Structure 1
Amino acid sequence: MNNFLCIQNGFLKGKKIKINKKLNIRPTKSILRSSFFNIINNHINNSVCLDLFAGSGIMGLELLSRGAKKVYFIEKNKKIFNNFIINKIKLNLSKKNIKIYNLDFKVFLKENKKKFDIIILDPPFKLLINPSFVKNCFFLLKKKGFIYFESSKNFIFKEYNVKKIGKKGKVFYYILTNF
């Protein structure tokens, strides 16, 4: 059995990606995506982005659709990774704009030397990602960068410019900047 997510804007607007229900993915809800993209829309064009816990890949695909130059997708789970590859092929996306890695986020972070304009942190809630992890991700940001973070817990971020904090259902979401 499958679910479908619809890309909301850009050159892929209206395209659907298929998500197998058995994969137990928790994609970012469309209302949260809209809120995030309304805030960062003027910063997307030609950006280099990281979707660290890609899952469905919907956040990174939205970034690409809205003008990001390149998006890196990191997904550890092989079945979820394969589902994403199928969607990438169906969307006919260019290899020059998209890099997909099937590996653990810790391995990527250890080996990575790149800086990003926008980072998406939407981990499985069982990982219990905390503010100190998010703080470490700020070292991966270029100047005037954004981090979107989802959690099952409410956190306070004192060191960073918080553009938005909200809650939708059981999900707390944060839009943070380094400027």
Structure 2
Amino acid sequence: MPPTPRVPGRRRTSSLEPSSSFFPPANRPTSDWEITLCGDLSDRQSDLINRLVELPRRSRGLIYFDSNGGNVYTGLCLASLIRLRGLHAIGVVTGECSSAALFPFAACRERFVTPHATLLFHPIRWQSDEDVRYEEAVEWARHFKTLEIDLDQLLSRLFDMDFDKLQQWTRPGRFITGPEMIEAGLAKMVDLFEDDIWKQL
């Protein structure tokens, strides 16, 4: 079994559950959904995928992001499901959106950040707790190089950003602030101190 590309480091509890505090204004469609994507994507991979599949196709809703990343394949799967199911997802980074979590955020039809949001761009990494034979390691190294290039190109297309600009952020890695995302044209600002925040979304 090949190593798992992921982000080593701190771990959080992940969830992708409907918000119990969603009270839309009268002029907002009541069919809208509201979910959260937070913590390490690897912790509840099945729950995250199933929750997206349970949403009505071509429906519109909000995804709140506060994730440090995780398994890059999980991030890829979530982004693919958002697009495959025609979801009009509005992504809002309420805290952090880093590494593998960038893929589902980039797949959102509309993207918002607060002035205090942080997004970490870096090359994919891999680690394995299993014993790997030499032949497997060689094959994984070959595949890893192809995967790295392919995912960089995909992220560039999802964000609709210049590939060279993405490379500048990704290598060796860089923390990008909310205002920088707005300046690059990759997201819009949501002001937490506006009287009616819903009008911004």
TM-score (norm: length of structure 2): 0.29
Query: Larger C-alpha radius of gyration, 1 or 2?
Result: 2
Higher RCO (CA-CA < 8 Å; seq separation 6+): 2
Higher-strand-fraction structure:
1
TM-score (norm: length of structure 1): 0.32
